[in-house]
Amino acid sequence: MPAYNAERFISQAIESVCKQRYKNWELIIVDDSSIDKTKEIIDVLAKQESRIKVLKNEKNQGIAKARNRALRNASGEFIGHLDADDMLKKNALSTMVTEFSRNNVSLLYSGFVAIDDQNKSIKKCLASEFEREKIAEIGWQHFGMYKKDAALAVGGFNEKLITCSDGDLFVRIARKFPCQRVKKYLYFYRWHGKNIGRSRPHCLDCSKKKVCNYFKEWTNTN
């Protein structure tokens, strides 16, 4: 979980992990030199829960570098994505782990429920298998989980991207390894004014184009 000035929602994000029905997890939080109360919040919660591991950047490095640091420090076979302003459904991890045990794949992705600041549902999103229009619209589908070895094999996160680094990674994994959609809504994706995609649309558009180029290349060769 990369975190930068996430004091408003990060407690809810962490709590959603702690309440998972699947218990064999670790949560790696990378504080990207926050200047609000994010550090204090995660330090308190980490003292209460031994499965939370906190890493701190001395200076702000951006979300892709924070994700790469978490990836390198992860001890598990599978990596799941959770942003500091979002939440997981209680069955998210158990569902994904079960699907990995049933299928020979390196990447799974589910649908999500978009919510507002008050946790009220706005809409549900569940893309078809590798639906180009959905990738152009939102980058990729949350909740994404993949094998650590697969992510490292394709070079991890592209640190040149300001946003959509997760979608970029997922597409590169999908080009090299088998992947599959989980037809369930396992993630609460929060829409609010401080989301980078909503507050900095010019950055989002640039990153989307790079991700879509990967996808077009992949579909043209398969």
pLDDT for residue 73 is more than 70: yes
CB 70 within 8 A of CB 30: yes
Over residues 82-107, mean pLDDT = 97
Residue 215: per-residue pLDDT = 52
Residue 192: per-residue pLDDT = 77
Tell me the pLDDT tens digit for each residue of 170-211.
989 989 999 999 999 999 999 976 654 444 444 444 445 555
Name the domain count of the chain.
1
pLDDT for residue 27 is more than 80: yes
- pLDDT-derived band at 48 (thresholds 50, 70, 90) equals very high
Give the H/E segment covering residue 160: none
Residue 204: per-residue pLDDT = 46
CATH code for the domain in which residue 126 is found:
3.90.550.10
Q: Quote the tokens at residue 220.
A: 């043209």
Q: Quote the tokens at residue 92.
A: 């998210």
- pLDDT-derived band at 128 (thresholds 50, 70, 90) equals low
User: In the 8-state DSSP scheme, what is residue 128?
Assistant: P
Q: 180-214 burial, b for 16+ CB within 10 Å, e for fewer?
A: bbbebbbbbbbeeeebbbeeeeeebeebbebbbeb
Residue 24: per-residue pLDDT = 98
Residue 213: per-residue pLDDT = 57
Residue 7: per-residue pLDDT = 98
d(CA 99, CA 88): 17
Q: Considering only 69-78, 123-132, 154-163, 203-212, which range has the smallest mean pLDDT? A: 203-212
Give residue 88's domain range.
Answer: 2-220
Which of these, 154, 127, 138, lies nearest to 191 by C-alpha position?
A: 138
**How far does the chain reach from its first CA to its final CA, in angstroms?**
33
Contacts 24+ apart (CB under 8 A), 39-48: 41/7, 41/10, 41/11, 42/3, 42/10, 42/14, 45/11, 45/14
